[in-house]
Amino acid sequence: MSRIWKSQFKDHHVTDEALYLNRRQWMAGAAGLGLGAIAGPALAAPEGLEPNSYEDITNYNNYYEFGTGKSDPAKYAHTLTTSPWTVTIDGLVDKPGDYQLEDILAKAQIEERIYRLRCVEAWSMVIPWNGFTLASLLERAGVQSGAKYVAFETAARPEEMPGLRYPVLDWPYREGLRLDEAMHPLTLMATGLYGKDLPNQNGAPIRLVVPWKYGFKSIKSITRITLQEDQPFTSWKDANHREYGFYSNVNPTVDHPRWSQATERVIGAGLFGSRRETDMYNGYGEEVASLYDGMDLQKNY
Amino acid sequence: MSDSTSATPGLRDRLTQAINQGARRVPTWVLYIVGAVPPIWLFIAGLTGGLGVDPVKAMEHQMGEWALWLLIAGLCITPLRRFARINLLRFRRAIGLLAFFYIVGHLLVWLVLDVQILSQIWRDILKRPYITIGMAAFVLLIPLAVTSNNFSIRQMGARWRQLHKLVYLAAVLGAVHFVMLVKGFQYEPLIYLGVVLALLALRLPILSRRR
What are the pLDDT digits (tens) for A38-71? 433 334 455 678 999 999 999 999 999 999 999 9
The arithmetic mean of pLDDT across residues A186-192, rounded, is 98
- Taking the alpha carbons at both ends of chain B, their separation in whole angstroms is 8
Beta bridge partners of A123: A119, A265
Q: Cβ(A192)–Cβ(A129) under 8 Å?
A: yes
Residues B20-49 pLDDT 10s:
999 999 999 999 999 999 999 999 999 998
The B residues from 35 to 74 touching A (CB cutoff 8 Å) are: 46-47, 52-57, 59
pLDDT of residue A117: 98
pLDDT of residue B135: 96
A83 pLDDT more than 50: yes
Taking the Cβ of residue A238 and every Cβ of chain B, the question of whether any pair is shorter than 8 Å is answered with no
CA dist., res. A52 & res. A29, Å (int): 17
The A residues from 167 to 226 touching B (CB cutoff 8 Å) are: 167-169
CA dist., res. A185 & res. A42, Å (int): 9
Q: What is the pLDDT along chain B (211 residues), one digit of tens a residue?
A: 444 454 565 888 889 999 999 999 999 999 999 999 999 999 999 999 889 889 999 999 999 999 999 999 999 999 999 999 999 999 999 999 999 999 999 999 999 999 888 888 888 888 889 999 999 999 999 999 999 999 999 999 999 999 999 999 999 999 999 999 998 899 999 999 999 999 999 999 887 665 4
A10 pLDDT more than 60: no
In A235-293, at which residue ranges do the beta strands (DSSP E only) sit? 263-266, 275-277
Beta bridge partners of A277: A263
Task: Look at A270 and B55 and tell me if their CB atoms are within 8 Å.
Answer: yes
pLDDT of residue A220: 98
Q: What domains appear along chain A, each with residue ranges and CATH number?
A: 11-114+129-249 (3.90.420.10)
B63 interaction partners in chain A (CB closer than 8 Å): none
DSSP letter, residue B90: G
CA dist., res. A173 & res. A73, Å (int): 15
The arithmetic mean of pLDDT across residues A87-110, rounded, is 97
Q: For A83, phi and psi rounded to 5 degrees? A: -145, 125
Q: Which long-range contacts (CB under 8 A, 24 or more apart) does A55-58 make?
A: A55/B53, A56/A125, A56/A267, A56/A268, A56/B53, A57/A125, A57/A127, A57/A193, A57/A194, A57/A202, A58/A199, A58/A201, A58/A202
A233 pLDDT more than 80: yes
With CA atoms as reference, the chain B residue closest to A266 would be: B54
The arithmetic mean of pLDDT across residues A143-147, rounded, is 97
DSSP per residue, B6-60: SSSTTHHHHHHHHHHHHHHHS-THHHHHHHHHHHHHHHHHHHTTTT-S-HHHHHH
One-letter identity of residue A182: A
The arithmetic mean of pLDDT across residues A93-116, rounded, is 96
Taking the Cβ of residue A157 and every Cβ of chain B, the question of whether any pair is shorter than 8 Å is answered with no
pLDDT of residue A44: 43
Taking alpha carbons only, the member of A264, A133, A249 closest to residue A191 is A133
